[in-house]
Chains A and B, each alone.
Chain A
Amino acid sequence: MIGVRLYLAQRLSALVMAPLMIGHLAVMIYAVQNGLSAEEILSRTQGSLWWGAFYGLFVIAVSIHAAIGVRAVVYETAGLPERILNPLTWAIGVSLFVMGGRAVAGVVL
């Protein structure tokens, strides 16, 4: 159900996610200390290659990590066969990537 490639993909995506998550939380807490409007946030993120790369990488890592994690949960609770699990894993990963990608595009472009 989980082979070496999926295992490595999940661990490596976690490795990418961990510092990005800490960065996300730290910036969020710092940025709202004195109150910050949506316009002010967008003025900093729009057109920023750096924030686009930061959250773009975050979305890619989350899509990989969550899809494999949900695959394990679904298998162990519903016992679905691999012929269903494999497309389901891809569907979850692609859905998260598209939704996250739209969100990143919304604040960066």
Chain B
Amino acid sequence: MHRRAEVLDVLVWRGDANGGGYHSYGVPAQESQTVLDVVTWIQQNVEPTLAYRFACRVGMCGSCAMMVNGEPRWTCRTHVKKVFGAKGLVIAPLRNLPVIKDLAADMAAFFDKWTAAEGRFHPSKSRNDAMEPISPEAPNRVAANAAIECINCAVCYAACDTVTANPDYFGPAALNRAWTLQNDVRDAGYTVRQDAVSSSGGCFNCHSHQSCMTYCPNELNPTASIAGLKRLSALSYLTGGKAR
């Protein structure tokens, strides 16, 4: 039994890009305790040099994702009682990303791939133009809305086995973002983004494992977004860029 009376047995990965290992800690159990609370308790009471990342603590900023008992999770909204297993609590930095130190993963590759997938908005109007009327019922707005609540936590990126096997692959978050923009009538970057998501690191590498959908803390479905991009790209190619 790893959960002694009031103390949680916790293993935390410590190290850097050169390697590391798990360290064991006993953390006082509390009611409504999150995994982020556990990590913070260790840093404030036992290991002041423990590196980890968080900001909002309410599931909005996407900073605190880590591997918890082998699965990627947003730690600020993950209750200990929900994930505490036979091995206690095992906390590690996000998978598929290099480690900076301890639980802080290097997010550079993740955001570089957002850029490579043209995940930025290309404005089509200036402040002097009239505001674009957007109907919430328009099909492309409905498609964009279904995918828009991404908080860039990289949980999907860590969950994706295709990212593990294929370092060039943009990953679910970047492509999900591209999909929302391809459905945004105000955006002027459709063609350049279509080329980006059809490139060798793009949407066609997705094997539809759906791990991104399984683990997304906001219950988005990046697999469906990527399938949408595949459809758009294939149609665009077959019609010589005329289909949109």
- Chain A residues within 8 Å of B, Cβ to Cβ: 1-8, 11, 72, 75-77, 79, 82
Total residue contacts A-B, CB cutoff 8 A: 37
- Candidate in A4, A5, A11, A75 with the most chain B CB atoms within 10 angstroms: A4
5 A-B pairs with C-beta separation under 8 A: A1-B168, A1-B200, A8-B234, A76-B162, A77-B165
| Residues of A contacting B169 in the complex (Cβ-Cβ under 8 angstroms) | 1
Give the distance to chain B from A82, nearest Cβ to Cβ, in Å.
Answer: 8
In the complex, what distance in Å separates the CA atom of A96 from the CA atom of B188?
45
A8 touches which one: B168, B202, B237 (CB < 8 A)? Answer: B237
Chain B residues touching A, range: 10 to 19
| Residues of A contacting B234 in the complex (Cβ-Cβ under 8 angstroms) | 4, 7-8, 11
| Residues of B contacting A82 in the complex (Cβ-Cβ under 8 angstroms) | 200
Decide yes or no whether B193 CB sits under 8 A from chain A.
no
Give the distance to chain B from A35, nearest Cβ to Cβ, in Å.
Answer: 43
| Residues of A contacting B198 in the complex (Cβ-Cβ under 8 angstroms) | 3-4
**Are A75 and B166 in contact (CB-based, < 8 A)?**
yes
**Are A4 and B162 in contact (CB-based, < 8 A)?**
no
Decide if the interface of chain A is mainly helix, strand, loop or mixed: helix
Give the distance to chain A from B200, nearest Cβ to Cβ, in Å.
Answer: 5
In the complex, what distance in Å separates the CA atom of A2 from the CA atom of B200?
5
| Residues of B contacting A1 in the complex (Cβ-Cβ under 8 angstroms) | 166, 168-169, 200-201, 205
Which residue of chain B has its CB nearest to the CB of A11? B234
**Are A76 and B233 in contact (CB-based, < 8 A)?**
no
| Residues of B contacting A75 in the complex (Cβ-Cβ under 8 angstroms) | 166
In the complex, what distance in Å separates the CA atom of A2 from the CA atom of B202?
8
**Are B166 and A4 in contact (CB-based, < 8 A)?**
no
**Are B165 and A2 in contact (CB-based, < 8 A)?**
no
Q: Per-residue 0/1 for B157-187: is the Cβ within 8 Å of any A Cβ (1 yes, 0 no)?
A: 0000010011111000000000000000000
In the complex, what distance in Å separates the CA atom of A72 from the CA atom of B167?
13
**Are B200 and A5 in contact (CB-based, < 8 A)?**
no
Decide yes or no whether B131 CB sits under 8 A from chain A.
no
**Are A76 and B165 in contact (CB-based, < 8 A)?**
yes
